[in-house]
Every structure is written in C-alpha cells, then in structure tokens.
Structure 1
Amino acid sequence: MKYYRDLRSFIAALDDLGDIMHVRREVDCDYEPAAITRRSCEIQSPAPLFEQVQGVAPGFRLFGAPASLSSLPAMPYARVAMSLGLPPASSGPEIIEALSAARSQPGIPPVRVESAAAPCQQNILRGEEASLDRFPIPFAHDKDGGRYANTWGTLIVKTPDGKWVNWSIARVMKVDGKRMTALIVPSQHIGQIWGEWVKKGEPMPYALVQGPAPAISCVSGIPIPAHADEADYTGTLAGEPVEVVKAVSLDLDVPATAEIVIEGHVSITRDCMEGPYGEYGGYLGEGSSAQPTFHVETITYRDDPIWPMSITGRPTDESHTLWAMGLAADALTYLREAKLPVKTAWIPEDSAVHWLLVVMPENWREQLPETSSETLAQRIGEVLFKTSSMVFIPTVYVVDEDFDPTNLREVAWVLATRVHPTGRRAVFEDQRVIRLPQCYEEREYVDGKGPKVVFDTLQSIRHRHASFAEGYPEAVRQRVLANWPDN
C-alpha cells in the first residue's frame, strides 16, 4: 500500500504512470478548463493539470478529473485505488471490499501538528484580502448558476457541542469574492449539523478544504454512518493518522497538507439562491433553490496552490467511480450485517448511479435454505431502502455471479436475458425521492415519494454460456490459445 499524504505526491505518481495531461498553454477560466476536463472524462484521457490560468497569479493551478477512470486500459480504477492507498491495478470489487472492511475496524484518530509544520498555512489572507477572486474558480457548465467553488473539496463542520465532526463534499457556488452558497440537504450529515446551529440561533463555523490528501477527498464523498468521523476512517484506510492543524480563525482542525483552506461562518437562514448545476445524472441543471450563505473570512494556502475540480455530467466522472463505489460499499456492508451471503455489490458507471447490482454466490440457496429468489429480492429491498444512501438508487438487480458486473457488455447481456418482462420483481411504493435521480415524474419530486424496485434475475438452474470459456472442451481451448496468432 502507498498512502499519498498530499495532492502533489498523488499527481506525481499519476504522472509517472502516464496518466497526467499537462496543459501548459494559458486557459480561460470561463468554461475552457471545465470543457477540457469533461472531454477527458468522456474519452478516458489522462487527467488534465492546468499550469497557466488567465486572470490569476502565476503558479496557481487547476487539476481536473482526480478520480475519474484512468487512461490506462489495464487499470481503469487506478485513480480511485491510488487515492485510497491501494495498488493501481485494483479492481472495482477489490476497492469496494476495502471500503467495506474499513467500516468494521477501529478508527485511527488524526494527529495535530503545529502551524509551522502545516503547508496549508504558508500564506494567510484575512479580512478584505481573503477574497475568492484571487483563485481560479471555473464555470463548470454553461447553464450553471455561477462559478462553482467546490466540486471536489471537503467541507468541515461540527455540532455545537463538538461531539460530531463531519467531512463531506457538497456543491458550493461562488456568489462574489466574499460569499458562497451550497446545496444543503436536511437529511445529509452536513444538513443535520447545520440544523443544530440553526436551532441554537448561531452561524455555523465551516472550513472548505481544497486539495487535501486524495484519501480525504474520497472519504468525504462516500457514505459512512452518522456520527462517525471521516478523519478516523481515513486513518484506517491509510494505516496511519491524518495530520491536521488548527484553523487560523476557527475552532476546527483542517488537513495540514491541503492546498487551500477557506474559513468562515454559515448563515442560519436560506438567504441565497443556489444553482442550477449540471449533475451526475448527465443533464444540465434547471432551476435554483434558496440555500444558506457561506461567508468568507480567512483563506490560507500553500505556495503555488492547486485547485482540484470534478466536472460532473454524463458518465464517467468522479460521481460514477468513487461515489458509486462508496454507495455500493455501503449497500454491501448493510446486506452482510443482515446476514445475507452477498458476494459483492456494484454500480455500473454507465448507469449514472441509477442501478445497483447485488451479486449472489452460486451456493446462496445452500446458505439460505427454504428461501426463494423472490423472497430474497424482497428482503434485499427491505434492508437497502431503509438506508439513507439508497435514496439515490431507484433500481436494484439481484444477479448471479457467473459474469463480470464491471463489464457493461456482460451486464447488458445478463439483464436483457434474465429480467422477466412481467414479473419476478419486488416493488416498494412511496419511498423517499429526491431530485438528483433523473427517472421520476415531477409530481413524485414534489411529493418526495415514488417507487423503487428490486429485480430478481437469479437463475433456478445454472445455464452454461455459449462462449469461448464455457462452450468448448478444455483441450480444444488450450490448442486454440497455443496457436493463436500474435498479430
């Protein structure tokens, strides 16, 4: 395992693999870096590092697609795996197993270092000098409500009593040099904590951290149980404590090796319009909503800072790799805790986080005697749809293990040939619906309720595949392979 303690060492490691695209010409922050990043995601090219950005001081850089699919065909999940300290060739299911396993291990709390040892505080801006206008904050899509100051950074907040510290990713839109606004969903952890400050009648302190250690960004973007500390969980994944430093103006600890830290307070009312924004479902956003204001009071940053960004849209980007893996790991953890013998769970990137595959081992019937596949599908839905993270998933498929769930061609074949046209599904009516999944009707978004479904595609009899691997005797296959042309 190799844990990258800061974003720079991670970028250098990707560069060594040939997975960094150096953009050395000057780029216009109005759309150009975002458009390059979006195309890099869609054609699976190296991650772009923008070394000259128009309108900001020399040395300030942008970094796109930090956890999208890599450009290396043999290791498509290298960016996610390396972010988490895993080998670059790790498979998707291996990453999910690591995320799930860490949930059951003791957390490793962070360790505080002195300010002099914290690169994130090499430069300190206070008062009017602490302006977002100094930084290369891009427009992500041409229909967005503004420049988005956060798409891959970590928001750090804690409850008024200090007992729960939350590190999370939420989209944050720049209003002007001294104000931002963020999509704060009441049911999400940051929304719950903000609600406690609202009840107290005091603005919530926050720190917005750009470019911490990649593992921190990843953990901030996946579900873990409420009241669990992401810093401790990150330490477990890394095998060592995360180094933090006390924020300059707040009673919050922030990652010491971060590139940029924005400090301030959040209003207690939804007094600013946020959005629209092009989201992971693959469509440009429509409409805006009233959200709290994030007031900017202090900014600290490293010399020659790097601002990372995730430009969400049609697959594949960070929301379809890291976030999907985090949701799948969450589902796998809860299903196993319910004593269901699940082999793995997987969300295909190309489903835009709308499908979850629950993969059952070949001997699941022996492990669950007297349980039909229909009953199993019902039980899986009962477990999953009670969890907060599954609010994003409208459709679940329970599948056999006789194919590769990470191979979309095989997924399409299995679903096309094993989903019964009229039956073998468990429908769960009146489930919680939010606007991020794209498949519901307007009345369901307004009501906040809609159906979810679990399809039972399990075979009663294991059918052999008409394929090279299963359709021919072993001796024939070996002879074919031994005589296969090299070119």
Structure 2
Amino acid sequence: MKYYDDLRSYIDALDDMGDIMHVTREVDGDFEPSAITRRSYEIQSPAPLFHKVAGTEPGFRLFGAPAGLSSRADMPYARVAMSLGLAPGSSGPAIVEALSAARLQPGIPPVRVDSAAAPCQQNILRGDDATLDRFPIPFAHDKDGGRYANTWGTLIVKPPDGKWVNWSIARVMKVDGKRMVGLIVPSQHIGQIWAEWVKTGEPMPYALVQGPAPAISCVSGIPIPAHADEADYIGTLAGAPVSVVRAVSISLDVPATAEIVIEGHVSITRDCQEGPYGEYGGYLGEGSSAQPTFHVETITHRDDPIWPMSVTGRPTDESHTLWAMGLAADALTYLREANLPVTTTWIPEDSTVHWLLVVVPQNWRELLPGVSSEELSQRIGEVLFKTDAMVFIPKVYVVDDDFDPTNLREVVWVLSTRVHPVGRRVVFDNQRVIRLPQCYDEAEYVAGLGAKVVFDTLQSKRHLHASFAQGYPEEIRQRVLDNW
C-alpha cells in the first residue's frame, strides 16, 4: 500500500499500470475534453490526461475520470483504492470497511509548512491576473448553464468562530473570469457554515483547491460527522499529517501540494443563477436556482498545473464509485453503532446511488433472538433515515450474505427472486427528500418530503443455488477445473 501525497505521483502510478490515456493532440476548450471523459467512463477506458487544450497556456493540463472505474478488469476499484492509500486490488467492501474504520480512530491534525515548501504557491496571481480565463475549464454537458469550475475540487471554509474547518465538494459554475456561483445546500456542512456568515453580515472566505492529494478529493466528497475536520480524517487514512500552507490572501490553510488554489469571498445573499447541470442520476439538468457568488481575488498554482474534473452522468463515474462508497461507509458505521448485525453495506454503482444494500450474516437470528426479519428491517430504517447521508437514497434492501453484492448480475438475480411483489417491505412516510434523486413527483420535491422504503428480502430458509459452486459435489467440481 502507498499513500500518494500529490496528484502527480498518483497519475504516474496509474500510468505505470496502464490506466492513463495520454491525449497529446490539441482538444477544444468547450466540449471535447468532457465528451472524451464521459466516453471513458462508459467503456471503462484508462483515465484521459489532456496535454493541450485550445485557448489555455502551454503546459496547462486537464485530467478526467480521476476516481472512475479502472480499465484494469482485475482491479475495478483501483483508482478509488489507490487514492485512499489502499492496495489497488482492494474490493469495494474492503474500501467501505476502511472508510468506516477510520471514523472510529483518533484524527491526525495537519501540519503547516512554509510557503517555500508548498508547490501550490510556485505562482501567485493577484488583481486582474487572477482570472479563471487562464485555466482549461470546459463545459461538462451540452445543456449545462455554464462551464463548471468545480466538479472534483475541494472547497475549504470555516465558521466565523473558527471552531472547525470543512473540506467538501460542491458544484461551482464559472460566471466569468472573476466570478463563480456555487450550489449551497442548507443541510450540508458548507451550507450550515455559510448561514453563520450570513448572520454576521460579512462575506465568507473560501479556498477552492484543484488537484490536491487524491485522498483529499475523495474525502471531500463523502459524509463524515459535522464538526469533524476532514483534514484530520485524511491524516488517519494516510497514517501521517497532511501538509498545509497558509493561503496568500485569506485566513485559511490549504493543501501544500495542490495544483491550483483559488481564494476569495462568498456573497451572503443568493444573488446569481446557478445551473442547470447534468447530475449523478444520469439525466441532463433542467432549470436553475439563485445561489451565492464566489468572488475570485487571488489564484496560486504549481508550474504546468493539472486541473482534474469529474463529468457526472450515467454510470459509472466518481458519483457512483467514491461517493457511493462513502455513503455506504456512513450507513455501515451507524448500523454497527446501533448494534445491528451487518456484514457489509453496498451501493451498486449502476443504481446511481438510489439503492443501498444492507447485507446481514447467516446467523443474524441467533444474534437477535426473537426478532423477525420485518422487525430487523424496521430497525435498520429507523437508524438510517435519521442520518443526513440517507437524504440521497430512497430504497434500502436488507439481504442475506450468500451472494456478491458488488456483482450486478448477482444483485439483479437476488432482488428479482427475493423481493415480494407487494409485501415484506417497511414504508417510512414523510422523509426528507431533495431534488437530486429522480424518483419523486413535483409536489414531493416542493414539500421536501416523500416516502422511503426498506425491502425485507431475507430468506426464512437458505436455499442452495443452482450454480457450479453449490450444485455439484466437490470432487466433480475439482475434476472439471483440472480438465477445463
């Protein structure tokens, strides 16, 4: 296992295993990089690294699909695993376990270094020179409201009292060279911090970091408890503190090895239209909303910087790999804290984060004597639907552990044969919903409330599978394999 403390060493490692596609011809600055990246997800090709983007300075590069599925069929989750410092062959459930386990360990706070030791400040742009127009920011999708300056970068903010620091990913659209507009959701941590600045009447300082250590991007996109610093959690994953440096113009620390850092302040009113944007559910966006303006004041960057991007849409992109694993780890942590027997939790990437599988062990009835499968499903729903992360997930399936939840073919087989047509489900009405899941009607979106469901698919008696593994004596199976 190896922790990559900057984006470049991670890209080199992917290149060594044949998982980088070098695009050396010039691509346009509008749609071509995104179209190539989107196709790379859909055919599971190596991640594209664009060396020449029209309209930007020589040496400025774009990097697509940083945590999509690997082109290596023998290690599909390698990009996520390597980003987090895990072995490239790690399974999905192993990654979920690692993310959950790190939440239970003491955090390792970051260490501040001098600016001379911070590659992110090799170049400092102020005033009119600090413009987004210098950088290769393409349109992600044809129907988007603008060029999205943040799809895989980390936003850093802290409340006025400075008691905690939040590192997160939120979509941010470029308005012009000096302005962006970002989606600030009140229930999310960045929204809670922004609301505190609104109360003071002062604009919120922010840093938008592009291309930090891959683990920083990953952890910025997954849920951890409020008032816990992502930097400390990343230190736990890495086994060493994250190196940070004081930003040039604001009182925030930023990752020292980042490619690009944009500094400025966020307005305290929703004064600019953001969207639409093609989201993780797999549909092009429609409509826009008023959101706060991110004013660009200072930009620092490494020599020949690399701007990473995630082009969300139909499976499978970073929303369906890293983010889904983070949500699954959040669910696993809360269920185990409630002393419920859970083997693992998993969100199949092809469900576009609309399904959560809760896998329970064969002996769960011994661990919970007298509890029926319906009662277990009820308890699971009561725990999960109180958590913030479950606002994204409308359907939970409680399943036995006699199949591989990461194998979509097996998932479809289990759900199609074990979900009752009308019964064996626990419905939770009036649950908090947001517009990102695609399954509710307009009245539910307006109210912010809708139904969620836990499907009880647990077998009262385990049935043997009509399969090679379970349908034949061991000596016959071995003879077949020996002579295959």
Shared topology, TM-score over 0.5? yes
Question: Is the partner of 1:186 in helix, strand or coil?
Answer: coil
Give 1:256-267 correspondences, 5 Å limit: 256-267=256-267
Q: Which residue is 2:189 aligned to?
A: 189
Task: Say if 2:480 is the partner of 1:480.
Answer: yes
Question: 1:128 offset after TM fit, Å?
Answer: 1.1
Question: 1:422 offset after TM fit, Å?
Answer: 1.1
Aligned-partner residue type, residue 190 of structure 2:
I
Provide the rounded CA distance (Å) in 1 between the counterparts of 2:268 and 2:183: 14
String of CA shifts for 1:314-333, please: whole Å, max 9, x gaps: 00000000000000000000
Task: Say if 2:140 is the partner of 1:126.
Answer: no
Provide the rounded CA distance (Å) in 1 between the counterparts of 2:483 and 2:233: 50
Q: Which residue is 2:72 aligned to?
A: 72
Question: Is the partner of 1:300 in helix, strand or coil?
Answer: strand
Question: 1:398 offset after TM fit, Å?
Answer: 0.1
Provide the rounded CA distance (Å) in 1 between the counterparts of 2:29 and 2:130: 20
Question: 1:376 offset after TM fit, Å?
Answer: 0.3
Provide the rounded CA distance (Å) in 2 between the counterparts of 1:199 and 1:362: 52
Structure 1, unmatched stretches of 5+, are: none
Q: Which residue is 2:225 aligned to?
A: 225
Question: 1:290 offset after TM fit, Å?
Answer: 0.1
Q: Normalised by the size of structure 2, how large is the TM-score?
A: 1.00
Question: 1:234 offset after TM fit, Å?
Answer: 0.2
Question: 1:109 offset after TM fit, Å?
Answer: 0.3
Q: Which residue is 1:239 aligned to?
A: 239
Task: Say if 2:48 is the partner of 1:24.
Answer: no
Provide the rounded CA distance (Å) in 1 between the counterparts of 2:15 and 2:57: 24
Task: Say if 2:322 is the partner of 1:322.
Answer: yes
Task: Say if 2:341 is the partner of 1:350.
Answer: no
Question: 1:430 offset after TM fit, Å?
Answer: 0.5
Q: Which residue is 2:415 aligned to?
A: 415
Q: Which residue is 1:61 aligned to?
A: 61
Question: 1:74 offset after TM fit, Å?
Answer: 0.4
Question: Is the partner of 1:366 in helix, strand or coil?
Answer: helix
Q: Which residue is 2:398 aligned to?
A: 398
Provide the rounded CA distance (Å) in 1 between the counterparts of 2:132 and 2:478: 63
Question: 1:29 offset after TM fit, Å?
Answer: 1.5
Task: Say if 2:367 is the partner of 1:370.
Answer: no
Task: Say if 2:157 is the partner of 1:157.
Answer: yes
Aligned-partner residue type, residue 22 of structure 1:
H
Provide the rounded CA distance (Å) in 2 between the counterparts of 1:362 and 1:66: 37
String of CA shifts for 1:198-221, please: whole Å, max 9, x gaps: 011100000000000000000000
Provide the rounded CA distance (Å) in 2 between the counterparts of 1:161 and 1:127: 28
String of CA shifts for 1:109-167, please: whole Å, max 9, x gaps: 00000000000000000011100000001100000000000000000000100001000
Aligned-partner residue type, residue 445 of structure 2:
Y
Aligned-partner residue type, residue 199 of structure 2:
K
Provide the rounded CA distance (Å) in 1 between the counterparts of 2:135 and 2:68: 23
Question: Is the partner of 1:25 in helix, strand or coil?
Answer: coil
Question: Is the partner of 2:50 in helix, strand or coil?
Answer: strand
Provide the rounded CA distance (Å) in 2 between the counterparts of 1:142 and 1:378: 43
Give 1:298-313 correspondences, 5 Å limit: 298-313=298-313
Task: Say if 2:74 is the partner of 1:98.
Answer: no
Q: Which residue is 1:116 aligned to?
A: 116
Provide the rounded CA distance (Å) in 2 between the counterparts of 1:453 and 1:425: 7
String of CA shifts for 1:223-269, please: whole Å, max 9, x gaps: 00000000000000000000000000000000000000000000000
Question: Is the partner of 1:321 in helix, strand or coil?
Answer: helix
Question: 1:88 offset after TM fit, Å?
Answer: 0.2
Provide the rounded CA distance (Å) in 1 between the counterparts of 2:353 and 2:236: 26
Question: 1:338 offset after TM fit, Å?
Answer: 0.3
Percent identical: 85
Structure 2, unmatched stretches of 5+, are: none
Q: Which residue is 1:291 aligned to?
A: 291
Question: 1:306 offset after TM fit, Å?
Answer: 0.1
Question: Is the partner of 1:296 in helix, strand or coil?
Answer: strand
Provide the rounded CA distance (Å) in 1 between the counterparts of 2:161 and 2:361: 45
Task: Say if 2:173 is the partner of 1:173.
Answer: yes
Q: Normalised by the size of structure 1, how large is the TM-score?
A: 0.99
Question: 1:196 offset after TM fit, Å?
Answer: 0.2
The two structures, once aligned, show a CA RMSD in angstroms of 0.3
Provide the rounded CA distance (Å) in 1 between the counterparts of 2:218 and 2:334: 20
Provide the rounded CA distance (Å) in 1 between the counterparts of 2:238 and 2:363: 34
Provide the rounded CA distance (Å) in 1 between the counterparts of 2:138 and 2:479: 56
Question: Is the partner of 2:26 in helix, strand or coil?
Answer: strand
Question: Is the partner of 1:38 in helix, strand or coil?
Answer: helix
Provide the rounded CA distance (Å) in 2 between the counterparts of 1:197 and 1:321: 33
Give 1:193-212 correspondences, 5 Å limit: 193-212=193-212
Question: Is the partner of 2:38 in helix, strand or coil?
Answer: helix
Question: 1:101 offset after TM fit, Å?
Answer: 0.1
**Number of corresponding residues:** 484
Aligned-partner residue type, residue 154 of structure 1:
T
String of CA shifts for 1:57-108, please: whole Å, max 9, x gaps: 0000000000000000000000000000000000000000000000000000
Q: Which residue is 2:273 aligned to?
A: 273
Aligned-partner residue type, residue 210 of structure 1:
Q
Q: Which residue is 2:332 aligned to?
A: 332
